[in-house]
Amino acid sequence: MKIAFIGDIVGSPGRAMIKEHVSKLKREFSIDLVIANGENASHGFGLTQKNAKELFASGVDMITGGNHTWDRKEIIPLFDTMPILRPLNYPEGVEGKGVGFLHVRDESLAVINAMGHFSMPMVENPFIALKGCVQKLRNDGIKNILIDFHAESTAEKRALHMLLKGQVSAIMGTHTHIGTDDLSVQEGTCYVSDVGMSGCRDNVIGMEAQAPLKRFLTGLPASLDVPKKCKKIFQMVVMTLEDGLCKEAFKVRIYEGAEEMFIQKAFYE
């Protein structure tokens, strides 16, 4: 099974890069399934039904979320009709689900979406929730397991890797929008602290720079906005899974207008 994971898709520039690249990359690398974090896909905040349909039509097979999942209330009925996840560790009774399943031929892939604690909304302990969820999946015979850990702190992400390496196929970090260079495969688990966003790269985490600068210079609130024109980037991790273990992994990075894509191979231990 060959799967790909795309980090935070930010606004229409991010969606444009998904539309341009995902389907052809699926063909080029013989990718079976694509999972993407879409909580910023609609003008940087939340996900609309229209934009969800656009991402699925562009080749995405499942969409994960995070702290911006609830920014647009129209997403709530979509949980029942589309393969869209919200973080697993929201309290019991919250709409949606944190685990979803995708299938390729005779194989199943479980996708878990979870959210960290540091600088994030109040949720249940992600480590306890994920440990229990992974154990249940393994007890049920599910071997291929991917986690989107949506967290601010790289320490939280790295600690989760230490807790679950060898038990899951992949732990993909999202939320900070800044790609890290620690892509690795250890004990059959592919890990990266943050995949990095797909969207505008010549600003501040995909948003126009004026509002963040005002916040930092004055301490006053300012509304973030996705630029109408910008230089775009696309980022995706591709993994080959066998019997629940990651055997090969690399990251694809594409800059708008560049003649070639950049490939970063995973470090193996």
Active-site annotation, residues: 68
CA atoms within 13 A on the CB side of 210: 4
Half-sphere exposure of 237 (CA within 13 A, CB side): 37
d(CA 66, CA 69): 5
- Helix (H), strand (E), coil (C) string for the chain: CEEEEECCECHHHHHHHHHHHHHHHHHHCCCCEEEEECCCCCCCCCCCHHHHHHHHHCCCCEEECCCCHHHCHHHHHHHHCCCECCCCCCCCCCCCCCEEEEEECCEEEEEEEEECCCCCCCCCCHHHHHHHHHHHHHHCCCCEEEEEEECCCHHHHHHHHHHHECCECEEEEECCCCCCCCCEEECCEEEECCCCCEEECCCECCECCHHHHHHHHHCCCCCCCCCCCCCEEEEEEEEEEECCEEEEEEEEEEECCCCCCEEEECEEC
**Side chain identity, residue 83:** P
Task: Retrieve residue 132's tokens.
Answer: 């229990």
Residue 200 structure tokens: 């505008």
